[in-house]
Amino acid sequence: MNDRGWVALLLLLSSAVAAQTSTPPAESKPAEEAKPADVKPAEAAPAQAGSTSLQLAKPIAMIDYAQWEDETRVADNIVKECGSLGKQFADATENAGRSQGLNFNKSPQSDPRTAEQGLALKLVSATSAGNAFTGHRKSVTARAEFYVGGKVARTTTLTRDSMGGAFGGLKGSCSVLERTVTTLGADVVKWLKQDAR
């Protein structure tokens, strides 16, 4: 192929990428515009009335890694190649909480289900479509359960979508998914603090 052929090919590819990234699909929103899903009722028995609020002065027990709720429902390449998503989600939740004045007791031995206050995080699903050339279309859904006195007080399921943000074309798929769970961590803290006292 001569120089003109290469230039034409590059122009064609760059215009395809520009068209892809400038017009997001109808069902997808950039991470900055996505809204957390509605709070869903707890599946387990709720704690007694009056004791479901987050107490800011008390520590919140949390495991240092968010497990996949059902790993078999997630694409193998995401589970194998993006193995740090669970840790990234737990760390992002802790960091966002600390910046909001929350005190976490995060460790592998923590059991949020038996603590005075506990937060259990799960990754429910993730999709990874597109790439740096065609545009990223990533999504992660997570579940958070807040426990008070060993009982589920509140549960929420949150979803975030991302097309990679600024310079998304220079990022790998796992990097975009990590960006998404970092935003989900901040969403969990906002939800957690809704009922704080």
- Give 38 or 123, the one with higher predicted confidence: 123
Residue 18 forms part of a structural domain:
no
Mapping DSSP to helix (H, G, I), strand (E, B) and coil, where does residue 158 land?
strand
* 22 falls within a domain: no
- Give the CATH number of the domain where residue 70 resides: 3.30.160
Closest CA to 60 of 122, 124, 111: 111
Q: 51 is in which domain, residue-wise?
A: 28-193
What is the total count of domains within the chain?
1
Reported confidence tier of residue 194, pLDDT bands at 50, 70, 90: confident
Q: Is residue 151 part of a domain?
A: yes
Tell me if 162 sits within 8 A of 180, measured CB to CB: yes
Say if pTM beats, i.e. exceeds, 0.75. Answer: no
Other Cβ atoms closer than 10 A to 194 = 12
Greatest CA separation for the chain: 75
- Taking only the tens place, the pLDDT of each residue in 78-122 is 999 999 999 999 999 999 999 999 999 999 999 999 999 999 999
CB 162 within 8 A of CB 176: yes
Residue at 150 is within a domain: yes
